[in-house]
Amino acid sequence: MYSRTINGKEHTFGVSGKLIMNALVMYDHQTDTLWSQFLRKGVRGELAGTELEVIPAIQTTWGTWKELHPDTLVLDKRGRYSRDRYKGYYQDGRAGVIGETFSDDRLERKAMVVGVDIAGNTKAYPFRALSDNPVVNDTVGESHTLVYFDDSSGTALVYNREVDGNPLTFRLEGEPNGILTVLVDEET
């Protein structure tokens, strides 16, 4: 998810109908700059080269979101879509919109991951691996991270696991219980 504020000005975005690296290219109504979703920057136009500010986001089920944020409001255009227009895409074995083939077999095509980017140091945690090991104490670059995965809702959360400069090591306390799962650290 990206901020709409660029160089101190709010922008509105639309879908250009173009693709880069088989992924969405947006445009902003204010300058007609084309923006790569994948590269997270302007690729053509007045703001080419300008990076979009990443806003931390969570992908989860609506039920889990409502448990976490019960006062959430949603814009509902009733009747607009009667089905998930992307259902076939999610289930299709092809990669991307135009069905590119890849020789990289480290992950299945369209495998869900939670991605971490800390100061240019990146790491991806596949949901399939997190299902077997839902608590991961790790290091990304120089940052001590904690990844927690709730298999029941397909929700992955990433935290900084340092307190006062000291890394903590977390583990499950009891059985997983969705968003009410308890994690405890071993140091305190």
The CA–CA distances, whole Å, from 66 to 71, 89, 150, 158 equal 8, 27, 15, 20
Phi, psi of 128 (to 5 degrees): -60, -45
Q: Which two tokens stand for residue 175?
A: 């059985």
- 128 and 35 within one domain: no
Q: Which two tokens stand for residue 132?
A: 């077997």
Instruction: Tell me the three state secondary structure of residue 67.
Output: helix
Q: Which two tokens stand for residue 75?
A: 């814009």
Per-residue pLDDT of the chain (188 residues; tens, 9 = 90+): 999 999 999 999 999 999 887 788 999 999 999 999 989 999 999 999 999 999 988 888 888 889 889 999 887 766 666 666 667 776 776 666 666 666 678 888 778 899 999 999 999 999 999 999 999 999 999 999 999 999 999 999 999 999 999 999 999 998 877 777 899 999 98
Q: In total, how many domains does the chain have?
A: 2
Query: In terms of residue numbers, what domain contains 37?
Result: 5-44
- 19 and 72 within one domain: no
Instruction: Look at residue 54 and tell me if it is in a domain.
Output: no
Which residues, at least 6 apart from 99, have a Cβ–Cβ distance to it below 8 Å? none
